[in-house]
Structure 1
Amino acid sequence: MKQDIMREITPLTQSDCFTLFSRVKKKFDFPLHYHEEYELNLILNAPGAKRIVGDHIEVIDEVELVLVGPNLYHAWFTHKCESEQITELTIQFHKDLFEDRLLRRNQLSFIKTMFDKAQRGILFSRETIERLLPRLLQLEQKNGFDSVLELLSILHDLSTSRNMRTLSDSSSDNEQFNYNSRRIEKVFEYMNANYSRPISLTEVAKVANMPEASFSRFIKKRIGSTFIDSLNEIRLGHATRMLIDTTHNVAEVAYKCGFNNISNFNRTFKKRKGCTPKEFRGNFSGNRIFI
């Protein structure tokens, strides 16, 4: 099953603290996936939908709030939900937004414990959701430093809440998803900085200080995908942000993100995202902010 799980490169950049996306929709249509960032997902008015987090599968009530840790696969599916007004609010933030040394301070120890539990996914109680719902919904009205402080405050209140439930029996800590070596980080930093132009296997292998053949085997073993697939995922991550954040047409987005062939861009996008770039832009016509 794991080879069918999509590794998502989110539109969140290193310059952002977090992103918040809200929309009202009739169905869940994003495939089973995982990503590097933490994700806090609030869902309202979706009784009968199905949630998968790691090895845990459950039909949900009309309201739920889940925190998913880095590289833990997850998705929501329409299943038996018949609601025409599903509300979804998703907050994604970097796993290093709050440095480990900061989280070890006494006042933040509850947040650290919660982040550790999030490696298996956390479902918060109905009482907690009802108490924090107004603040979660108002978070997109804030901006700049105030929004970061409010997110930290919400995370603290979640971390001290009662009756939270861990979902998956196993965490995301497995070889396929565990690719945080310095060599891999350097390669991904290089590809992220140069995604808009042609990048060859030869030059990336030099960044890793490895022969090409050895590097190809190394990256496939460490992250479960080839160099080209990894580069395309990075480009698609930037493309999704441009589709959400700009008015560039699809061809402009393709060329700005390093795809020199519009047909190849459309084909690659649909294969990885399950829809065309145009459909993706339409699906993401909700409210998205980057802080």
Structure 2
Amino acid sequence: MKLTYKQTELKPENSFLVKQERKPCLDHNWHFHKEVELIYFMKSSGTRYIGNSIGTFNTGDLYLIGSNVPHLFKNDKVNSFYRVLKGDSVDYIVIKFDPEFFGKQFLSLSECRNLQLLIENAEKGLKFPKMISKLVHDVMIELTQTKGLRSVIGLLKVLEVLSTVNNFTSLCSEVVVNNYTNKERERMARIISYLTENFDKKIELEDVASIACMTPNAFCRYFKKRTLKSFTQYLNEIRLRNACKLLIEGELKVSTICYQSGFNTITNFNRQFKSLMNVTPSEYISQYINGLAS
């Protein structure tokens, strides 16, 4: 996985990008771009990385990601979306627009105050409730087939709905935008790639520091400055998000999930899980089952 700058290719007649993608699986690079991105998953699930936030994404999820915020949506290899089976595919709509698309004068209008705040808040990465996804579902579908002024009006309709939402989730604790040099991008890409591909194994601090060509102490300071999280905290979050996915699937015992997620003792696993999720693994399963039944 490599952190890359993704150039958004626009048709001459378009000022912003909107497209619907259907494919067997998602397996993109960790990337960033100048445009603000609105992405709606109509069919998919896996792990998301937005700024310094790690979590899962599922069908019906809607995200707004700010300009130059590194992000990645990736299907897990054990996920059914990763298997090229008949009828199984990823289906999502993505919209990308320049943060200055509407112009400073337009955004400075008192009527656009909420829209301006929405774009500013997107720098932390926003996740909207599924009820909001349902509200904009039809408009986003229509946007994929609309041209000219109607497409701009459609985009404004979607953003108007999102700008009135108060119960969105800010995914990053602080604004995390990509201001890395080329050398730093390559270094961070190597680090994140190593962690996401090997989280289920024993990972020594010295090994990751050597990938970054640093001493362990220098690496810890560097990583904390760039991600706003300690190396251990970041690694544990990757492991625990994987554990959450396995718990929901319900096919393995908690003890098995503990070791398959990279933890070496069930006691440490339970303690870290409770610290991040505010519930025990068993309580997490119960909440999920009760949520399905309600």
Do 1:25 and 1:85's aligned partners in 2 also have CA atoms closer than 8 Å? yes
Change in 2 beyond 3 A, CA 1:71/1:15: farther
The CA deviation string for residues 199-239 of structure 1, in whole angstroms up to 9 with x for no partner, is xxxxxxxxxxxxxxxxxxxxx69x969xxxxxxxxxxxxxx
Could you tell me how far 1:82 is from its partner in structure 2? 1.1
Could you tell me how far 1:13 is from its partner in structure 2? 7.0
**TM-score of the superposed pair, with normalisation by structure 2:** 0.56
Provide the secondary structure at the position in 2 that maps to 1:9.
Answer: coil
**1:5 aligned residue:** 3
**2:235 aligned residue:** none
Cα distance in 2, alignment partners of residues 105 and 173 from structure 1: 26
- Correspondence for 1:75 among 49, 72, 85: 72
Percent identity reads 23
Provide the secondary structure at the position in 2 that maps to 1:141.
Answer: coil
**1:53 aligned residue:** 50
5 Å-filtered alignment, 1:1-291, equals 4-12=2-10, 16-47=14-45, 49-79=46-76, 80-83=78-81, 84-173=88-177, 175-176=179-180
Change in 2 beyond 3 A, CA 1:129/1:106: same
**TM-score of the superposed pair, with normalisation by structure 1:** 0.57
Cα distance in 1, alignment partners of residues 42 and 161 from structure 2: 20
Could you tell me how far 1:101 is from its partner in structure 2? 2.7
Change in 2 beyond 3 A, CA 1:14/1:122: farther
Provide the secondary structure at the position in 2 that maps to 1:92.
Answer: strand
Change in 2 beyond 3 A, CA 1:224/1:125: closer
Could you tell me how far 1:175 is from its partner in structure 2? 3.9
Count of residues in Structure 1 that have an aligned counterpart in Structure 2: 179
Do 1:50 and 1:77's aligned partners in 2 also have CA atoms closer than 8 Å? yes
Provide the secondary structure at the position in 1 that maps to 2:80.
Answer: coil
**2:250 aligned residue:** none
Cα distance in 1, alignment partners of residues 177 and 26 from structure 2: 27
Give, as a single letter, the amino acid of the residue that structure 1 aligns with 2:148. Answer: G
- Larger RCO: 1 or 2 (CA < 8 Å, sep 6+): 1
Give, as a single letter, the amino acid of the residue that structure 2 aligns with 1:156. Answer: E
Cα distance in 2, alignment partners of residues 142 and 14 from structure 1: 15
Cα distance in 1, alignment partners of residues 159 and 150 from structure 2: 14
Do 1:54 and 1:170's aligned partners in 2 also have CA atoms closer than 8 Å? no
Provide the secondary structure at the position in 1 that maps to 2:14.
Answer: coil
Do 2:20 and 2:94's aligned partners in 1 also have CA atoms closer than 8 Å? yes
